[in-house]
Amino acid sequence: MDASDDVDHQKLVGFEKMTQNPAEMQAQVLADILRLNAGVEYLARCGFSSSSSSDSDVVASFKAHVPVVSYEAIEDDLQRIADGDRGPILTAQPVISLTLSSGTTAGRPKMLPSTEKSRQIIHSSFQLSSIFRKRFFPTKAFPTVLSFVYAGKQFETKSGLKLGSGSTNFFRSEAFKKSRRFTYTSPDEIILGYDVRESMYCHLVCGLIRRDNVEFISSTFAFGLIEALRMLEEAWQEICADIRNGVLSTRIKDAELRSSVQNFLNPANPELAEIIEKECRAQSWAGILERLWPTAKFVFTVVTGAMLPYAPALRDYAGNLPIVGIDYVASEGFIGYNSDANASAEDISFIVGPNLAYFEFIPLQKNDQNVDLFESLTTANYIEDDPVGLAEVRLGGLYEIVLTTFSGLYRYRLGDIVKVTGFHNATPQIAVYGRKNSILSVNTDKTDEQELRQVVTKAAMVLKEVDMKLAHFTSSADRSSRPGHYALFWELQESKDNVPSDVLQRCSSILDTSFNNPYMRGRAAETIGPLELCIVRKDTFGLMRDYALSRGAAADQYKTPSCITSPELLSILRKGVVQTCFSPKFPEPVLASWKPEMASS
């Protein structure tokens, strides 16, 4: 065992030890957080003083004085920090940057504090993550990776604090130059470029030129990797011409990008162009990743939560190349580790790191015992109990995560709903279930993200009959009609003719009759209007992404919202609609099955 292997072994031993007694570790973590941030203004306002609490009763005292809050409760404090107040408002450590969340449902990201301590936690967490991954897929110390990452725009507050997504702040910092974990196939100019489409094209060119060195392929979210592969489908002939002739396409306007990629293109390589061209001319794009990058061992990206709908398309592109899910990392901090690199997207669970933050979990209990299977999947039909600790969660339970972090978040509602799927030693493993605020509702009905994904997947199966595939979807609750109705927006992978009207009608009908009990009762009572299914033109979802980027989101962290309330995003969707179909009136047998329940409810 060499020195690096010994260090890795010691880190794994330490992790095993802390997961055997998570309650003890959590009490220590909370005491450390409160000791580090003793005397901050926020805790004083809550009436909490760490000096009056011993380590043994700090948990009880903390919970008794500090309320569970959402972002709105600390928004003014964060604005003060952004405006230049350097006092100990939320944290005694200096806030070195503000992180913009990737959430875009309402079209406006949140600002979250980042400190040197929080950066250290993220760095050490990713180191442990790579150790877990290497047990399944050994790589070199600094593996070569084709990574579709983009630094994005970084802003400055009026006080001079850097403001951007977590990845933006990292890529545009000195830490990116000094603490690399990978050898990228692309030069830094591509990662740091400001035009996402130009950078994406350049990533493809450089990744193909260095195809025989790539150990794995990555993107922060599956959405970003799917977008890159769709560009490859459209532009492969242009890319092959670049490689064959040794001259970059005129589509790249940025001078720094042109210069950096041109160095890769010299000398011209017609033999490589022919190899790539042969694979891209094949009858199917299935398995294109393993065919174009034969030395790659796996694909590494987020395929859980909102990214789960992209897993089937990504598996098709990957062929036999395994897809490894990235760990559970939020803008607020690192949550948990994917210790099983072989787990499929649908089965990924994360071991919560007991030393990363102080965790609490709000139990979600059913508020109606007379629910069917579909309704039991809907988090909106649950009521909340008092938060419990990391060691107190129960197998199979649904919870909302509450965080207390070293960077100044105290009993902060993350908004993520998770399900406890098992335990690693005594520490829970959790699966991402959805976002609490990502629900559709026009009346008393409430449909969450998990159910929406299931229903859309079921309806989209009909598209296979006409050789079409769903690329992206989102939804909104349209209350402009009377009664209000669900509106679903689909973008297809293909740029073919319109969807045949009978196929579109069947899709809308399946959608309309597959939602939960309250929705079905509302449809039968006509308090919810017919479902609207809209097909949007190609790249409409790309325009939504561009809007989010203009508001400060990072390209490699962008997630298509499952449910949209932002008027600006809805406007983009409506302008992109090329086909619309409303669901038909409920068939009489369906009406009959729901009207008795309505009468008795």
This model's pTM is above 0.85 = no
DSSP SS3 for 260: helix
pLDDT for residue 105: 42
Confidence tier at 598 by pLDDT (50, 70, 90): very low
- Both ends of the chain: CA-CA distance in Å? 68
pLDDT for residue 369: 43
Tell me the H-state helices in 266-348: 270-280, 288-292, 311-318
The gap from C-alpha 37 to its chain's centroid, in whole angstroms, comes to 30
Sequence-ordered list of residues with C-beta below 8 angstroms from that of 77, at least 6 positions apart, any chain? 41, 42, 89, 90
Residue among 507, 380, 514 nearest 437 (CA) = 380
Q: Give the DSSP H/E element, type plus range, for residue 470.
A: strand 470-478
Residue 494 corresponds to which tokens in the numbers above?
């293909």
pLDDT for residue 375: 37
For the cut 60, the answer to whether the pLDDT of residue 587 exceeds it is no
Residue among 248, 250, 151 nearest 209 (CA) = 248
For the cut 80, the answer to whether the pLDDT of residue 284 exceeds it is yes
Q: Is 319 exposed, middle or buried (0-12, 13-18, 19+ CB in 10 A)?
A: middle
pLDDT for residue 51: 65
Q: What is the arithmetic mean of pLDDT over 53-59? A: 70
C-alpha–C-alpha distance, residues 358 and 411, integer Å: 9
Structural domain boundaries in the chain: 3-116+328-435, 138-321, 449-600
455-473 in b/e form (b: 16+ CB < 10 A) is bbeebbebbeeeebebbbb
pLDDT for residue 496: 63
C-alpha–C-alpha distance, residues 224 and 217, integer Å: 12
Tell me the H-state helices in 222-343: 222-245, 255-265, 270-280, 288-292, 311-318
Taking all residues of the chain, what is their mean pLDDT, rounded to a whole number?
A: 87
CB 178 within 8 A of CB 213: no
Residue among 562, 565, 500 nearest 535 (CA) = 500
pLDDT for residue 382: 58
CB 429 within 8 A of CB 419: no
CB 420 within 8 A of CB 401: no
For the cut 80, the answer to whether the pLDDT of residue 366 exceeds it is no
pLDDT for residue 377: 40
Sequence-ordered list of residues with C-beta below 8 angstroms from that of 458, at least 6 positions apart, any chain? 510, 514
Before 143, cis peptide (omega within 30)?
no
